[in-house]
Chains A and B, each alone.
Chain A
Amino acid sequence: MDLSSINPILLLASLMVAATPILLAAIGELVVERAGVLNLGVEGMMITGAVCGFVVAVNSGSPWLGFVGAAVGGALLSVVFGVLTQFLLSNQVATGLALTLFGLGLSALLGQGYIGIKAPSFPDWDIPLLGDIPIVGPIVFQHDPMVYVGLIIVAGVWAFLKYSRAGLILRAVGENHEAAHALGYHVVRVRMLAIMFGGACAGLGGAYLSLVRVPQWTEGMTAGAGWIALAIVVFASWRPWRLLLGAYLFGGVTVLQLNLQAAGAAIAVEYLSMAPYLATIAVLVIMRAGRAPGSLGQSFHASR
């Protein structure tokens, strides 16, 4: 066993990269669920974002436009879910699952001509001065821009939910949509906007896979990342900073176990492979679990 082959600075830096796609998708879903909607279509929106982002980036030559395209693609797919569940009052669980299936199929179709093509890539940002700080610089301040976009979105969502009037309304809709409606708030409008935000974030998470982390388009490439994102929302008790912890914990332990394997650590490989899931469950048990939004998953009809 040669643990000296593991560079702790690179390990911690790659933790942030590994966590980013899950973080982006999960923070969007957190907002959706805080509005009282359960969208199980995260995987479908992620992979649609992955292909849309890749296609736009390849054709425009700009990874930034790729991420914009991914957000739009994810949001458009989420509108389908929104219309079905908020206007036609279809079952949210079934519709979300259908959205995942639809997204997987649609992405395979859209991406057929893009297999094996190289997308334009972001150069890593070496933030002046901060990037030069010993140890901390390479870990925190030398990443691609989307790592920081993810962190900014988490901070923004936290501030929005905690301090803004709109955030209070969104939480009210999620806790008790009947009461929110009685107070004159447009429940469906609030939920549609939340759903679209969730779709856009899932799209960004998918594009992070296809444009940064892998980086290429491969059919089915999300390979369950959307389901992990859904689980991390529950792990986080619907709180943004806990969600950041959950994503970094899962991403970090995933990277750590691969590093330990490669270094020949004297720990059974089976345990190492289980580690990301075990660690997440262990922390969930230790931390006080929060309560789900009161109206989560319930359909709202104004005339009821």
Chain B
Amino acid sequence: MTIKNILAGATVALGMATGAVADGHEPVKVGFVYVGPVGDGGWTYEHDQGRLAVEEALGDQVETVYVESVPEGPDAVRVMTQMALQGADLIFTTSFGYMDQTIEVASQFPDVKFEHATGYKRADNVSTYSARFYEGRAVQGHIAGHMTESNIIGYIASFPIPEVIRGINSAFIHAREVNPDVEFKIVWAYTWFDPAKEAEAANVLIEQGADVILQHTDSTAPQAAAQAAGNVVTFGQASDMAEFAPFPRVSSIIDDWAPYYIARTQAVIDGTWESMDTWDGIGPGMVKIGEITDAVPAEVKASAEDMIERLRTGEYHAFTGPLNRQDGSVWLADGEVADDGTLAGMNFYVEGIDAEIPQ
């Protein structure tokens, strides 16, 4: 993988050495660092769709490069450094595990703007951005709670970070709300992308009685495993995964990064870029809910669509009390809404989840 990234870095260098635009101004050079392959069909695929949207919207004002499958570690530092040295004006680092590396490289290149996805550390030249995926998980949990017949919902988790824990809690709360007998079985894959392991995790959950599978990993392998099993409901993750609709995939969370990427690149072009934190959800359109198929009963579909609308308008918050922590202590009183600070650093399960968060 290291040599792959060295070669990829050389490709970045070549890409950034290309000429100026027709009017004599250098195009703004934008780099993207991806944790998976662009063909993963999920997380990285959607980030790359955002990159392509930047090229389409801004034309010859911009030049983009990317390096895919960059491990979350020292390799990321090297790839980011290479991009900065080769003249990148703006670099998007698109995974939580790049957080410290982004800060480290940004401190060495104060004139380069950095945008880190799903993290919480900022600097004068580092912004953070994320989507309120947990809103989509609420919708998925609502549908899952209605559709499970075994009352066992399987959840394939990636890494025990706040983003993933928020999703588990949100899905569980809304599944339990409509079906008090629901039980979650959680498997930690410790990978963002490993189709064989994701498929194996799905098969294990199915063998242990799960008839609904939720995933916070990036490939479509769990969808394929569910399709092979024949009677298991799934949801698209990060991308629509519509090739598995209308069943097993009955809906999806879609990350739409394009408007944000275009706006932030335009800000660099205009000289108005400032360090900021963005955390948008269904309302601003950063999170979209994929078509709810007819495999979902009409009344469930209607109630899910109502929830989507209430989340969109802000009338409803996915974490609204009364809610207790796993140990039974009160977290949110009746009608109280979770604050963003707690959600951003969430490191606990809500009451009813019979599992432990890896430390």
Residues of A whose CB lies within 8 Å of any CB of B are 5-7, 10, 14, 18, 21, 97-98, 100-101, 104, 108, 111-112, 115-118, 121, 209, 213-216, 218-225, 254-255, 258-259, 261-264, 268-270, 273
Contact = CB atoms under 8 A, between A and B. Distances in A.
Contact of B225 (A7, A214, A225, A264): A214
B200 interface: yes
Given A223-B194, A254-B200, A264-B185, A108 B228 contact: no
A219 B3 contact: no
B219 A221 contact: yes
19 contacts: A14-B203, A21-B196, A111-B39, A121-B228, A214-B195, A214-B221, A216-B221, A220-B36, A222-B196, A254-B200, A255-B204, A258-B204, A259-B204, A261-B186, A261-B187, A262-B187, A263-B185, A264-B354, A270-B359
A211 B186 CA distance: 27
A98 B220 CA distance: 28
A220 B358 contact: no
B38 interface: yes
A224 B224 CA distance: 20
User: Which 7 A-B pairs rank lowest in CB-CB distance, beginning with the nearest?
Assistant: A219-B39, A116-B243, A220-B37, A223-B194, A269-B358, A221-B195, A219-B37
Contacts of B7: 101
Interface centre among B196, B197, B355 (most CB of A within 10 A): B196
A286 to B, nearest CB: 26
B9 interface: no
Contacts of B203: 14
A5 B196 contact: no
B231 interface: no
Given A223-B194, A264-B354, A215 B224 contact: yes
B358 A116 contact: no
B40 A225 contact: no
A11 to B, nearest CB: 8
Contacts of A254: 197, 200
Given A116-B41, A263-B208, A215 B187 contact: no
A221 B220 contact: no
A262 B36 CA distance: 25
Interface of B: 3-4, 7, 36-41, 69, 154, 160, 185-188, 190-191, 193-197, 199-201, 203-205, 207-209, 219-221, 224-225, 227-228, 243-244, 354-356, 358-359
Given A108-B37, A108-B39, A115-B39, A213 B199 contact: yes
Given A213-B196, A223-B193, A255-B200, A218 B40 contact: yes
Nearest to B198: A214
B4 A104 contact: yes
B194 A5 contact: no
B327 to A, nearest CB: 17
Contacts of A18: 200
B198 to A, nearest CB: 8
Contacts of B187: 258, 261-262
Given A216-B220, A263-B208, 9 more contacts: A18-B200, A97-B3, A112-B39, A116-B244, A121-B228, A216-B224, A220-B37, A262-B204, A268-B359
A117 B220 CA distance: 11
A7 B190 CA distance: 24
Contacts of B225: 214
A273 B3 CA distance: 26
Contact of B196 (A116, A209, A259, A261): A209
Contacts of B196: 21, 209, 213-214, 221-223, 225
